[in-house]
Amino acid sequence: MKLVLGSGKLNAIWVTVLAIAISTSPMHAQQATISASPGELVRKTVQNELNASEGHAKYMFRDQKKTAQGSQTKLMVETDDSMAGILVEQNGHPLTPDQQRAEDARLEGYIKNPAELNKKRQKERDEADHTKKIVAAMPDALLYENDGTVPGTQSLGRPGDVLLRLKFRPNPNYNPPTHVEQILTGMTGYMLIDTNQCRIAKIDGTLVKDVAFGWGILGHLDPGGHFLVQQADVGGGHWEATRMDLAFDGKVMLFKKLHINSSQIFTDYHPTPSNLSFEQGVVLLKKKESELAQNPRQVAENEKQE
């Protein structure tokens, strides 16, 4: 899964914000934090992220999401066709027979209807493109300054690595080329960069002014909106999202109220075959779902040991 500072809904702009792997060695990355200015380091790190966003490894993982309406847990898997997911818990409880049948029917609908699967795939691609535009704009749209360091952890960067903290604020001289990058003109916060891997470990931003998207025609976001995305090395040098918080209010089409408030935790990453089809991904999800239903405690222990 690629962060999802960029995956529909306004949060889709952010759901895939962080991409994969680096093109420099740990030694060179460490030197960059010493010799480069904050802006230069961000530019180098962002370029690493963008260069490696294609052809990344695929994973199965657990997505636990909380909103004002309750909580749900899904099993997710990345495939060549699209992201496949199956709901396994609602508000901490296993699905009812009716809910289970609805999930099976939903997934079967994608498998039997290529047109619907194509729509899903295109939507994910559009969202990923939006995210890439935002990430690519960060070196120019924001101004950075050093703000200390924090240690990496299991779910933030990598244990033992040093994370450089950089505060950011809007660059008054930046003119966004499209409405997609407009959100950065009103954003302040901080970024954590893993100084060994030259990777973005965390972005935490808050809107300090009303920001229009679609040049004010489609809507706007109110001041105080907040997002947080973090990622970590989940094994073998592969980085994936581990957390995403979104809280935005505003209006869409000038009159419809927009309210997004959610928190997601991503865990239990396991690599999957690189050429997985959507249908094969669903088979893997159902197999995992069956294992959880038969012996949830043992499965949880096995995942911890791995």
Domain ranges for the chain, please list them.
4-305
- How far is it, in rounded angstroms, from Cα 218 to Cα 228? 24
CB count within 10 Å of CB 126 equals: 13
Does position 57 have pLDDT exceeding 70, yes or no?
yes
249: part of which helix (H) or strand (E)?
A: strand 238-252
Sort residue 248 into left (φ over 0), alpha (ψ -120 to 50) or beta. Answer: beta
Would you state the pLDDT for residue 180? 84
Count of alpha carbons within 13 Å of 41, Cβ hemisphere only?
Answer: 31
Q: Hey, what are 268's tokens?
A: 């239990």
Residues 6+ apart with CB under 8 A from 67: 261, 262, 263
Tens digit of each residue's pLDDT (9 = 90 or more) over 228-281:
999 999 988 888 999 999 999 998 876 788 889 999 999 999 999 989 999 999
Length of the chain: 306
pLDDT, one tens digit per residue, over 157-198 is: 999 999 999 999 999 999 999 888 888 999 999 999 998 888
List C-alpha distances in Å: 194 to 66, 103, 105, 137, 143.
28, 39, 43, 20, 19
CA separation for the pair 265, 76 (Å, rounded):
12
- The model's pTM: 0.82
* Closest C-alpha to 59, from 288, 244, 255, 260: 288
The reported pLDDT for the residue numbered 21 is 27
* Alpha carbon 86 to its chain's center: 18
Tokens of 143: 């101004």
Secondary structure class of 196 (helix, strand, coil): coil
Secondary structure (3-state) at 237: coil
Helix axes 296-305, 278-294, angle to 10 degrees: 110
Q: Are 185 and 211 in contact (CB under 8 A)?
A: yes
Report the C-alpha gap between 11 and 247 in whole angstroms: 9
Whether the predicted pLDDT of 226 surpasses 70: yes
Q: Which of 299, 287, 294, 246 is nearest to 15 (CA)?
A: 246
- Confidence check: pLDDT of 141 > 90: yes
Residue 118 above 50 pLDDT? Answer: yes
Element (H, E) at 280: helix 278-294
How crowded is the C-beta side of 166, counted as CA atoms within 13 Å?
28
User: H or E segment at 290?
Assistant: helix 278-294
* Residues paired with residue 296 on neighbouring β-strands, in sequence order: none
pLDDT tens track for 12-40 = 333 333 322 222 333 333 433 345 799 99
**What pLDDT, on a 0 to 100 scale, did the predictor assign at position 305?**
44
Helices (H), 176-277: none
Closest CA to 201 of 18, 11, 2, 5: 18
Q: Measure the CA–CA gap between 276 and 72, rounded to whole angstroms.
A: 25
**Terminal Cα distance for the chain, rounded:** 19
